[in-house]
């Protein structure tokens, strides 16, 4: 055994002992491009569980590389809905936040039954729909090409296509173990227009009927509703159903789309009453690397809220427990509403969390307080004002907090106003960005489309990158307005000798055996460099890559050993294998059935 292979064997056996104790949660990861994040059934995005403890951490990673400790850009995001119901204008809200993982939430997984207007899966029987479904673009394209060939499906269907939760799917129960309700759920392209999902007849998942000819690199879907005890807002249910889609693209040259993900919320009213003065928003906990020095602002013309660092250094000594920081070129993280005008951007002070008398603290356990936040007001109903921290600092009323660019020394920004926090070492504020809907009648639905984009230019300062937001968000908006018809040049699909990240021995799975080819290759006096993948990440999909100069005796080219895709074979590829083998358990051949 050579000196290079021995360390890999030690790592294999040691890591096997550790990984055997890990548990997999029921979230789903979206990692089609440079952003890696995850979603849950129940109004919660990004946040993830630390399997080594009972701690929850942020999970929105920009510029993600599989061989390093990655800093995050957002800690978590949650859908908030508020409206007035009935002749008495009763305020009701549906809320999720970080306490969801402790059982405090207003949402439950699953759809609402149209015949009863109640949750189809009551809270004590919701596990069946407690899922986020995922399909890959290459799987959709395989079905499209197969059907276009002769008008029928001849090849084995990918498992994710067969398991997609769309109405009438004849394969669903055999895959997931329960019968799919006969109602409209995940969107799909309907070849014969019979409103039944029949992938064996050429049907396949889509974003929506407004984007029939758009195939993202990854597409996620889930459904939840608020017909349950409202343990967070402590009020009566709105009786709304939310269907959530998330997707991302892979581009060869359009960097901004490689640094963007999209989400669609389809909110339907099942309440017998019309929902009036409706406010729908997304509540965020910022977490740009070290969260304690994060600032935020908004651009009302771009319908965008953004998060940036308060100074040139991300964090300070002792302030960022369990958090990776950005060493240089700290990015700006943007959240953009694509199909509505922003109505309000509000924030609260974490230091006053659930203080019953704190006027500017975090909304807590009360319908009215959450509705105030969605309506752009302080927790006590006071209107926000310009300048200072926005609480009675002038007579100029506004719905938008810190709406000037921090590069403008005369503008009103958190940067110009300073920290102004009531909590020690805490300038990061939870924000709520909302839209206004006059009314949503019984049986009607509305759609909210949003984008998350990361903006970073080498050598630019922490606030100069806000200018990059103003340059690049309009490009994202233009792609959306054009329904992505003029999309970027896609990364070429792969048909033969495909590179699957981490599968160095080409057996269709990532596990400890994939360490051996790397160790053997590094013990030889051969070239350990070659063509990089068109997208440097570890997404479990087939990539087309040029052959490297070196090949094993069994004709396996060294390009398969480049687990992170950067064109260099080194110890970092070992890190990728060890991080992937508990996540990538699908056999490639099985995925094609």
The domains of the chain are located at: 5-25+495-591, 57-81+258-481
The C-alpha atoms of residue 461 and residue 463 are separated, in whole angstroms, by 5
Looking up tokens 């993982």 gives 101
Structure tokens at 24: 């997999």
- Whole-number pLDDT of residue 27: 80
Question: Which residues, listed in sequence order, are joined to residue 336 by a DSSP beta bridge?
Answer: 304, 451
| pLDDT per residue as tens digits for the range 468-504 | 999 999 999 999 999 998 888 888 888 889 999 999 9
- pLDDT of the residue at 352: 53
Cβ within 8 Å of residue 184, ≥6 positions away? 167, 195
Task: Return all residues near 111 (Cβ < 8 A) that are at least 6 apart.
Answer: 119, 120, 121, 129, 181, 183, 185, 223, 225, 241, 243
Give pLDDT < 50 ranges for the chain: 1, 3-25, 51-55, 420-425, 584-593
* Rounded (5°) CA angle 223-227-232: 95
Q: Are 568 and 533 in contact (CB under 8 A)?
A: no
Report DSSP state, residue 514.
Answer: G
What is residue 102's predicted lDDT score, i.e. its pLDDT?
Answer: 58
pLDDT of residue 398: 97
- Which pLDDT belongs to residue 553? 87
Distance CA 340, CA 323 (A): 34
Q: What is the pLDDT of residue 186?
A: 98
CA atoms within 13 A on the CB side of 240: 36
- As beta bridge partners, residue 297 has 306
Which of these, 303, 566, 237, 270, lies nearest to 440 by C-alpha position?
270
E-only strand ranges, 287-331:
294-299, 304-309
- Which structure tokens are listed for 65? 């590389």
User: Residue 309: which region, alpha, beta or left (left: phi > 0; alpha: psi -120 to 50)?
Assistant: beta
| Two tokens, residue 493 | 């699909």
In the prediction, which pLDDT does 586 show?
43
Query: How far apart are the C-alpha atoms of 453 and 337, rounded to whole Å?
Result: 11
Nearest to 449 by CA among 339, 290, 293: 339
């Amino acid at each position: 055994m050579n000196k290079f292979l021995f360390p890999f064997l030690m790592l294999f056996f040691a890591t096997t002992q550790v990984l055997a104790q890990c548990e997999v949660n029921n979230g789903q990861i979206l990692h089609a491009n440079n952003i890696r994040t995850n979603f849950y059934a129940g109004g919660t995005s990004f946040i993830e569980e630390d399997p080594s403890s009972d701690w929850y951490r942020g999970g929105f990673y920009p510029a993600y590389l599989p061989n390093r400790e990655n800093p995050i850009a957002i800690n978590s995001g949650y859908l908030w809905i508020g409206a007035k119901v009935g002749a008495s204008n009763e305020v009701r809200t549906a809320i999720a936040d970080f306490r969801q993982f402790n059982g405090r939430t207003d949402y439950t997984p699953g759809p609402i039954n149209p015949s009863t207007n109640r949750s189809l899966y009551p809270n004590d029987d919701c596990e069946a729909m407690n899922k986020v479904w995922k399909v890959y673009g290459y799987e959709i394209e395989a079905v499209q090409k197969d059907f276009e060939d002769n008008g029928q499906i001849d090849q084995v269907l990918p498992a994710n296509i067969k398991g997609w939760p769309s109405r009438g799917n004849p394969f669903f129960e055999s895959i997931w173990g329960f019968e799919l309700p006969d109602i409209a759920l995940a969107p799909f392209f309907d070849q014969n227009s019979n409103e039944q999902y029949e992938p064996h007849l050429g049907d396949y998942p889509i974003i929506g009927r407004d984007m029939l000819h758009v195939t993202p690199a990854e597409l996620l879907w889930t459904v939840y509703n608020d017909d349950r005890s409202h343990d967070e807002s402590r009020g009566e249910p709105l009786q709304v159903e939310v269907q959530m889609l998330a997707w991302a693209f892979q581009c060869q040259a359009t960097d901004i789309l490689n640094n963007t993900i999209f989400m669609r919320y389809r909110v339907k009213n099942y309440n017998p009453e019309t929902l009036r003065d409706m406010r729908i928003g997304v509540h965020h906990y910022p977490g740009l690397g070290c969260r304690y020095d994060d600032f935020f602002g908004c651009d009302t013309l771009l319908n965008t809220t953004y998060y940036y660092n308060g100074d040139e250094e991300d964090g300070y000594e002792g302030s960022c427990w369990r958090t990776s920081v950005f060493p240089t070129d700290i990015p700006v993280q943007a959240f953009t509403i694509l199909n509505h005008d922003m109505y309000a951007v509000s924030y609260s002070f974490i230091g006053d969390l659930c203080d019953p008398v704190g006027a500017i603290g975090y909304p807590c356990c009360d319908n009215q307080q959450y509705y105030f936040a969605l309506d752009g007001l302080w927790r006590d109903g006071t209107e926000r004002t310009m300048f200072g921290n926005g609480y009675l600092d002038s007579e100029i009323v506004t719905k938008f907090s810190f709406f000037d660019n921090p590069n403008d020394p005369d503008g009103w920004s958190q940067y110009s106003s300073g920290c102004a926090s009531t909590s020690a070492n805490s300038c990061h504020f939870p924000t709520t960005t909302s839209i206004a809907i006059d009314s949503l009648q019984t049986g009607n639905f509305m759609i909210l489309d949003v984008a998350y984009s990361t903006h970073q230019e080498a050598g630019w300062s922490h606030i100069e990158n806000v200018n990059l937001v103003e340059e690049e968000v309009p490009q994202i908006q233009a792609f959306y307005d054009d329904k992505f018809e003029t999309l970027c040049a896609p990364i070429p699909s792969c048909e033969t000798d495909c590179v699957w990240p981490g599968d160095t021995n080409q057996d269709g799975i990532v596990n400890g055996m994939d360490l051996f080819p790397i160790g053997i290759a590094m013990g030889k006096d051969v070239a350990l460099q070659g063509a990089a993948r068109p997208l440097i990440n570890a997404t479990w999909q087939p990539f087309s890559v040029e052959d490297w100069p070196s090949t094993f005796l069994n004709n396996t080219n060294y390009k398969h050993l480049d687990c992170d895709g950067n064109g260099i074979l080194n110890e970092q590829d070992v890190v990728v294998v060890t991080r992937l083998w508990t996540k990538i358990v699908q056999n490639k051949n099985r995925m094609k059935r």
